[in-house]
Amino acid sequence: MQTALNPTLDANATHPIEIRADDPRHLGNLTKKMSGVNSQVAADTHYDPQAPPRVDINGNPVKESFIAYLPPSQNQITDEFAYMIGAGALIVLVAIMVILGDSNLRLVLSKTKYGYTMLGVSAFMSLITLVFVRNIFEMSEILRWYPNVTSIK
């Protein structure tokens, strides 16, 4: 985006006949004006007053490194764990579908004592886990948009 204070200059620009060398719109004049503005800004910055030193409560000077360590947000950590748990539950459900889809695996499963019962319990627990993961994502989204909410009734 171009603004009036920050023009884009092209070195290969040609000047129309109506723009003479003494015209303010001439490329050379624009360059000189921008150079003068930059020099004035640098000179003004040199004479700006110094900011007072920062001190703590006791009046001791504070050493500032201007490196802000931001730990990962709790929402992000919760989301990563929820993805991991949800992926595990989905892997279990896919494994159950593969077992039920393959005739040889079904035959082996039918010969075990509690094969189908354990398969059903595993599927049920995986589905409950996916419901909990979905609720975690919904709560995480609410906390992301409304961080002051601590509990929802």
SS3 for 83?
helix
Tell me the domain boundaries of the chain.
7-50, 74-145
| Integer Rg of the chain from CA | 34
- Note the pLDDT of residue 34: 85
- φ, ψ (nearest 5 deg) of residue 52: -65, 150
Contact 140/75 with Cβ under 8 angstroms? yes
**66 SS3 class:** coil
Burial class (CB in 10 A: 0-12, 13-18, 19+), 133: buried
Which residue did the predictor score with more confidence, 1 or 109?
A: 109
pLDDT digit string, tens, across residues 69-94 = 666 666 666 778 888 999 999 999 99
Across the range 104-116, mean pLDDT stands at 88
- Indicate the range of 50-54, 55-59, 62-66, 116-120 predicted with least confidence: 62-66
With cut-offs at 50, 70 and 90, classify the pLDDT of residue 1: very low
Q: What is the pTM of this model?
A: 0.46
**Token pair belonging to 148:** 């002051």
